Amino acid sequence: MRLVLSEEQIRDGVADLSRQITGDYRGRPLTVLGALTGSLVFLSDLIRQLDFRLQVGLIRARSYRGRSILPGALTIQDAEMPEIAGRDVLLLDDIFDTGRTLAGLVETLRELRPASLKTAVLLLKQGRSEVPMVPDYYCFEIPDVFVVGYGLDYNDEYRHLPHVAALDKDEL
């Protein structure tokens, strides 16, 4: 594994993002939705730095299965999500890779009529987008490498790492 972002870099990036979001939403109640499971660490760290009224919910979107490093069909489950009609919503995900997961989630959530809907990701991967959108917020741009840690996984492993690292080809 090769270190891509240290624990300290991530902490600073999340703090910077929380200041941006606080400036944009101060005085307005916000619903923060985390895309399971990759965004859990990011969600947890971010919401502890937001000092205004908010509610938190979870939505499951899956496009990778098992040892695959290529996305498959997107499935969405919203059973753990609060009512969002008429509310400002911030959708969090761990990484914007092809963008298909985030775009699919946005399309689904728009049907539920939020007052506003913005997106935030920890990582924006360069050169991989397959959709005509860019997240509203992101902490870091990274090169096109397969990364794990800080919630990101490979075959449901490595999520616990406090940093982001690139897996070598022989580790995939």
Give residue-wise pLDDT tens across range 6-41: 999 999 999 999 999 999 998 898 999 999 889 999
Integer Cα distance of 15 and 119 in angstroms:
17
Total count of domains within the chain = 1
Tens of pLDDT along 143-162?
A: 999 999 999 999 999 999 99
**What is the pLDDT averaged over residues 87-100?**
95
Range of the domain at 67: 2-171
Torsion, Cα of 169, 158, 166, 68 (10° steps): 40
pTM over 0.85: yes
Per-residue pLDDT for 120 more than 60? yes
User: Of these residues, 45, 88, 93, 97, which one is catalytic?
Assistant: 97
Share of the chain above pLDDT 70, in %: 90
Looking up residue 127, the CATH number of its domain turns out to be: 3.40.50.2020
Supply the pLDDT for residue 27: 86
Concerning whether 45 is annotated as a catalytic residue, the answer is no
Supply the pLDDT for residue 137: 98
